[in-house]
Amino acid sequence: MLFYKLRKKIQRDIHLLEIAFYLLMVILLVGGRSISKLQLIGPIFLYDTLLLGAFCWAALQHKKRQRFMFFELLFAIAFFYLAVSIILRPDKMSYVIRQFALFGYAFIAYIICITIMSRGTQGLLVRIQQLGRLSVLVQTAWSSYIITNGGISSLLGKYQGEYNYYSPLTVVGTLIFAADMLFLANGKGLKYALYFYSVFLCVTFGHSSAIVAVLCIAIFWVIKNYRRHIIPITLLCGLIVFVIFNTSEEVKDANATWRFMFWEEASEKIFVNNLAIVGEGFGVPYASQGLLYRFARELQSYGMLKEESKPYLVPMHNSFLTVFYHIGFLPGLLLLAPYIRGVRRMYSLGRETLFLLAALIALSTWSFFNVILELPHSSIGFWAVYFILYQKLYKEDVPKEAIKARNLYF
């Protein structure tokens, strides 16, 4: 009787945790940076406090969880670099903690997600779908506001000099919605129309990488459904992406050049200086003084030279490159485990798993060109999709042959 009551209490608490986690994402979606940067007392932020509260709530649940060993090994390596960095750079402690936050946010999301998914993935999967649909509604309302106050030209350009997405999580949610429409939604005519509407919203964001990200979902859908013609389709899709990048002014402007110069130096450190094996650790500048002077000389960009903290706090606008920079390229490849497994099995996966894989591919494309995983207000949606897909691929959507083989050993 006592065991039954305890089990019921745990199940109820996990359901409440799921709702709290979803509400946390909704707050970020609606509040954006104003919420993630809202300070309670001194250096204590409201969002970080709520996130840590959810983490503690999840960690205290006495429930058997499915663990993801590839990710735990990745985090163990990151934690090792954290310990070494604290010992070697005690004078840079604030920078060490700020840079490690990339992995800290991931681990917090990991504990919360695997706790919620101890009851199965369905509940969290539905929450992610709801986040996508709410994001489209919020962005539609915001676009209407932009048209009313700035005209259609502002919607297709930049409103008051800023990107047109309402909040960073809006982009994440819109990409999730686009994948939902192509892989899960029913009703051919309506779902395709809604997908193209999400493409339109991505066009209005004012960022070319959002357009490429949403088109990657369509490319993945075409490759999945037209397997016999995969080579010409892949070449055609590659040509389309190439044309977009070569005709877009954003690819040729100073902002894009700044990225490419940053990536060049970071890649040299990762692959040449560190031989793709070790990382730089934490509490180190992302950009050298030489690169900062190049920014100033060639691009008239002086921001990172004027503030001493900027080289430590402004990464190279490529979240995956940031991971490799801190812990090394080869250890960082552990992050790609669900991508590799998903693509290898894409023709035998269920619709829900395909939806998650398509969403993750789009979110990864967005993260490849922006600072996403490093920030609290954008990383949470990425990691939620990542861990649900991980659970699906390794625990639920598994071929019968693999289950039989597993039963021979366990």
DSSP 8-state code for residue 335 = G
133 within domain boundaries: yes
Identity of the highest mean pLDDT range in 38-47, 67-76, 389-398: 67-76
63 within domain boundaries: yes
Segment 273-288 shows an average pLDDT of 96
Cα(61)–Cα(22) distance, rounded to whole angstroms?
18
Q: What is the pLDDT of residue 404?
A: 43
Q: What is the pLDDT of residue 248?
A: 61
Cα(97)–Cα(78) distance, rounded to whole angstroms?
12
| pTM of structure | 0.91
Query: Is the separation of the CB atoms in 106 and 76 below 8 Å?
Result: no
Using left for φ > 0, alpha for ψ between -120 and 50, and beta otherwise, residue 290 falls in: alpha
352 within domain boundaries: yes
Query: Is the separation of the CB atoms in 399 and 349 below 8 Å?
Result: no
Cα(227)–Cα(235) distance, rounded to whole angstroms?
13
Cα(185)–Cα(66) distance, rounded to whole angstroms?
28
pLDDT category of residue 19 using cuts at 50, 70 and 90: very high
Q: What is the pLDDT of residue 8?
A: 55
Q: Range with the lowest mean pLDDT among 90-94, 358-362, 374-378?
A: 374-378
Q: What is the pLDDT of residue 408?
A: 31
Structure confidence by residue, pLDDT tens digits, 334-364: 999 999 999 999 989 999 999 999 999 999 9
Q: What is the 3-state secondary structure (H, E, C) of 49-64?
A: HHHHHHHHHHHCCCCC
Element (H, E) at 45: strand 44-45
Interaxial angle between packed helices 376-391 and 2-31, expressed in degrees from 0 to 180 and rounded to the nearest 10? 140
Q: Per-residue pLDDT for 5 more than 70?
A: no
In the chain, the percentage of residues whose pLDDT exceeds 90 is 59
Which domain, by its residues, includes 50?
2-253+325-409
Burial 282-296 (b: 16+ CB within 10 A, else e): bbbbbbeeebbebbe
pLDDT category of residue 160 using cuts at 50, 70 and 90: low
Bridge partners of residue 41, in order along the sequence: 44
Q: What is the pLDDT of residue 409?
A: 29
Using DSSP's 3-state secondary structure scheme, residue 44 falls into strand
Segment 103-120 shows an average pLDDT of 94
Q: What is the pLDDT of residue 302?
A: 80
pLDDT category of residue 402 using cuts at 50, 70 and 90: very low
CA dihedral 22, 25, 27, 29 (to 10 degrees): -130
Segment 97-117 shows an average pLDDT of 95
pLDDT category of residue 401 using cuts at 50, 70 and 90: very low
265 within domain boundaries: no
Cα(330)–Cα(324) distance, rounded to whole angstroms?
8
Structure confidence by residue, pLDDT tens digits, 237-277: 777 767 766 666 555 567 888 999 999 999 999 999 999 99
Bridge partners of residue 44, in order along the sequence: 41
105 within domain boundaries: yes
In the chain, the percentage of residues whose pLDDT exceeds 70 is 88
280 within domain boundaries: no
Cα(156)–Cα(204) distance, rounded to whole angstroms?
5
9 within domain boundaries: yes
Q: Per-residue pLDDT for 125 more than 80?
A: yes
Q: What is the pLDDT of residue 377?
A: 82
Average pLDDT taken over every residue of the chain: 87
Segment 82-96 shows an average pLDDT of 96
Structure confidence by residue, pLDDT tens digits, 189-243: 899 999 999 999 998 888 888 999 999 999 899 888 887 777 777 777 777 767 7
Q: What is the pLDDT of residue 241?
A: 67
Instruction: Look at strands 44-45 and 39-41 and give their pairing.
Output: antiparallel
Structure confidence by residue, pLDDT tens digits, 127-154: 999 999 999 999 999 989 888 887 776 7
What contacts 38, CB < 8 A, 6 or more positions away? 31, 45, 46, 47
Specify the number of domains making up the chain: 1
Element (H, E) at 40: strand 39-41
What contacts 33, CB < 8 A, 6 or more positions away? 167, 168, 377
* Closest among 383, 385, 405 to 107, alpha carbons compared: 383
Query: Is the separation of the CB atoms in 316 and 266 below 8 Å?
Result: yes
Cα(136)–Cα(366) distance, rounded to whole angstroms?
17
